[in-house]
Structure 1
């Protein structure tokens, strides 16, 4: 973001920049602008303002503070404005590749406009209370092993939630995802040195998941029915209407066969006791009739679902969600340096967070 004062010097700079770009299509606009500013850089305007003379010696150049004129990193990762208790003036979705991921970050921050129908899905919503042991968040060093242990623990719960959302044809409101390491495009030790990134931190969904794939209309005959998602801040958004927030059912998981585990809805508490270890038929029988309830919230996703009874449905679901996860980047001294997240890591007792060891390993799907 630029703020230009309409001086004669600034107009000359703008004119020369425009002519440079028109004359050569190979000139990158940002690099060209920097070259012009550095034709003459310095001396300082004074000892206090932080301004310097630039361009032809008459332009006064200063930097807008990154705490309120936010890059994608100072806003979404470092949360610098929150730590300094400032109100941002602007945010730029840098440090992210892909339009879908950028939009999702803005939605998570509740600074993106969506039409009213976005906030009232016809099939209703599914959400759950994520459970994360404190040890996974805080114990030990922040390294590859502890980062993947934390993310994998959450991923398994999200996988279950995606399956139940698919069965009930509901839109899944994703939980906040916690990370211990940043994701960048170059080797690093976990965070950018000198940044205000706290560890652990709530990371954007695109740090772990391929948001563009989750939102893509994959062929149903090959991947099974699509699963709509919403951002973790969805119910906090003022745009979410009261008729959605007020139509709520809490599903409390309980031990099957116990006296207190009764599958009936209590109108006064808007809650439902629900046994663990459910199959597809049980979920469909007990929850599909509740189509008028806008939001169903599970108390937990651990042991909530045993799996699809139909092998074809199971295979299609697995094929779909395997493509939902992305990579962590990057390990130094190894080519390639990225490490794939694995939606079914728990089925591989010897799974470790390692980059691909062969070219064939670099294409897991």
Structure 2
């Protein structure tokens, strides 16, 4: 849709053509005029190509193919249209089409397949006419309204197809377990729980905008970055989370136990961010564990009917404002940028062996112990001891000798840092990282029902996870 992408793909030898839509390469917000224009261009393209007799497999740019879907689509030769959906509750446990009678989520046109039949052309034409008559209407909403005009009965012998739209269109709903949404893939890991192989993941059900989508794909090692992404000039910092079993597994899954678990991790990540900032290293984030899911509306902790495990490895954007962390903030007010990478970074085959093998392990020890202060070096090469509760000067003094080491890995972040001695630097750091966390949403039957995460929760005696009591109190904790 945009000339910059067209040119890049052309020179890589990818067959492309110019739609003449004159779209720009800037990120477009959901619901914006540019967003709706992009949707109309998609429908115009469908109408332009179907008359040539070609089958169309269309997808949004915020999804990734994980496996060739063509053999799967060929299993349903009678289908006029096959579409993905926002279904989060499984309706089947194998790789058959979702049961249309049980699908309550919207049909999602981020992934769909069209065959050039008369009834599909009729649907495409009416869809185009409705969109061109109202430039503010959402293309997916119109698609759903049209195909639901008639829905049922099932196509006899159609392997899960249903008559839709005008009563003659044969529609199939791709299984959400293997044509995944951002929820069924990143939160439920439905494909893994059902022992299936996913074909695609669409980064829906997520937060923090395009940056959040990109980070989720990086966590899944499904995003391609240039070589320099995998070798930061200042090196990397990582740590072992060491979450207590009582926080992760014991007791009931409640709002309080969820926040206790997340807050423990926030405190350690805050420490790691401070050390990374002082050492000018890129922080490799730890995996983040949650007990409660995050949505846009009130729910009991996880979505009813889903197979979300508790606790579960939650996407970083459930807790952190990824887009804020990546935003360029004035250094005189917020201190230096703190670069970071996804928790799966070192598992990525694109990270070179030179990086993976250049590691200094840091074992924390009691600063009051004689052995801890005798000598940093241990009998093991590539391993040092470092006293807990060390201040800024100690960090800089010890680790200035290891600037050539690619990865510094702490055995823990618990009590690893006693704080800044440079108060101006500390103030800027606090000003930066307090903006890094977002909200959990939402408590049932409360308005507002969201609760703000607080990077400095432990400095506030009696802190409790509670929604704002009024609109006046509804703001981040800073």
Q: Please, what TM-score do these two structures have when normalized by structure 2?
A: 0.74
Q: Report Cα offsets for 1:185-210 as digits up to 9, x if no partner.
A: 00000000000100000100111111
CA distance in 1 between partners of 2:249 and 2:382 (Å): 35
SS at match of 1:43: strand
**Which of these residues, 145, 168, 173, is aligned with residue 279 of structure 2?**
168
**1:316 to 2:316 alignment:** no
- Residue correspondence of structure 1 range 322-341 to structure 2 within 5 A: 322-341=434-453
CA distance in 1, matches of 2:196, 2:155: 28
Of stretches 51-60 and 345-354 in structure 1, the one that deviates more from structure 2 is 51-60
Structure 2 partner of 1:233: 344
CA distance in 1, matches of 2:125, 2:264: 55
1:8 and 1:225, CA in 2 relative to 1: closer, same or farther beyond 3 A?
A: same
Establish whether residue 7 from structure 1 lines up as the match of residue 127 from structure 2. no
Structure-2 separation of matches of 1:332 and 1:189: 7
Per-residue deviation at 1:48?
6.9
- What's the offset of the Cα at 1:335? 1.8
Q: Secondary structure at the match of 2:191?
A: helix
What secondary structure, in the 3-state scheme, does the structure 2 residue paired with 1:251 have?
strand
SS in 2 for 1:272: strand
The count of residues paired between Structure 1 and Structure 2 equals 365
Hey, what does 2:385 align to over in structure 1?
Answer: 273
Unaligned 5+ runs, structure 2: 1-110
Aligned to 2:456: 344
Indicate the structure whose relative CO is greater, using CA pairs within 8 Å and at least 6 residues apart: 1
Whole-angstrom CA distance in 1 between matches of 2:337 and 2:215: 18
8 Å CA contact 1:329–1:337 kept in 2: the answer is yes
Which residue of structure 2 aligns with residue 109 of structure 1? 220
Structure 1 regions of 5+ residues with no counterpart? none
Q: What corresponds to 1:126 in structure 2?
A: 237
TM-fit CA distance, 1:87? 1.5
Structure 2: distance between partners of 1:274 and 1:58: 72
The counterpart of 1:61, out of the listed 151, 156, 171, is 171
Structure 1 length as normaliser, TM-score? 0.97
* Alignment partner, residue 30 of structure 1: 140
In structure 2, how many angstroms separate the alpha carbons of the residues matched to 1:226 and 1:213?
11
Which digits, 9 at most, give the CA deviation of each residue in 1:274-299, with x for residues without a partner? Answer: 11111000000110231110000000
Equivalent pair of 1:263/1:274 in contact (CA under 8 Å)? no
Q: Give me the CA root mean square deviation.
A: 1.4
